[in-house]
Structure 1
């Protein structure tokens, strides 16, 4: 099914499709983007399954030439794009895979194995956000169980390694546009280092989504509020 998108003044990044690199996503920023060769009156229509090899090669060449940020305004039927992006953040919007979130504007995209998208601090690799999803037959996060039970099992049996001590600091539930989310804060302590993270989980589109954003524990007090914005911004889009 083709999707038509009107273009104006936010930034569009094309990345060639691969197992870890995303095609058909956009990033929006409060920063000014460089002038684009695309007119604000143009419109872009794409179908995920039918993008030709020639178009993919063209996008790859543009990216290599440094024309990764194209000035555009995308107006799909989602309220995120009508919101004002917080200062010093960008918005990552993956329309085909049905999710979006904010990330710090000075972070850079990178490949995080087994994840659909990821961004990290340019200097500190352990300061990062990543998103993954798996198929599910459940319709809502509440079907997984009460938040206390779900968070305990995830942190202790999924996120923590056998040699790590777990400390769950906080957990919250929110509802946005008819979808429910669990967000929780936790620490993992290893013999050599300690980290702290927020995670947000949600279910939609037949998928179980997980966003995790974290940093080293010694920097957590300074970064906590900044990273909480990322965790709270995660949204599941209808696809």
Structure 2
């Protein structure tokens, strides 16, 4: 069995060019990981993250990927295989972080079938079949970290469809942990609370009233920032957490306790 203890780990992060994915990529690099990050359309933005990681002494590669388009997953896996061979002279990577996503705010009553299908493709079908496609490239003894949301535990109007997808991801993580345990692959879910990013139009960051409401409902007295989540991702993928699997870890500062 290959383990991740005798070489530099390689972490693949979807949606790693911006927001929480970018922060997680940088934190993992600081922790000693090399990084493969994906972006949907902004190659220049992704390359900036690569350059920042390289400036810190680690190696990184940025690859295009639309997680809502499962027909492209095989070609993406071939790109990952090529990148591993050319940049690292390796056949496997160690950590997969299924982070890429979008936010759609709509009441249950007003949610359209097109919105629902978009969320399914990006947040549920995408991670399911992308992980399946990449399994041959994930090292035995590796890790998978799926990203959920605090909204799968507590309910706020306007997020019914989004939260349903995240609930599905949490169930999927437990099944993956059960079925992939024979390969020594640990699978967990990280569930961020409300974070100040450009996600969902930047509402938590830019809407003072919403930010104040979040802070008032959070034990730590403020809304989250990207560093809160990137640091947690790096911690969960650190060698000391190798025995943790099948768990949901909410990183919300104690929101709605």
Bucket of the pairwise TM-score, normalised by the shorter protein: under 0.3
More helix by share: 2
Determine which structure has greater relative contact order: mean sequence separation of CA pairs < 8 Å that are 6+ residues apart, divided by chain length. 2
TM-score, structure 1 as length reference: 0.25
TM-score, scaled relative to structure 2 = 0.24
Identify, as 1 or 2, the structure richer in strand. 1
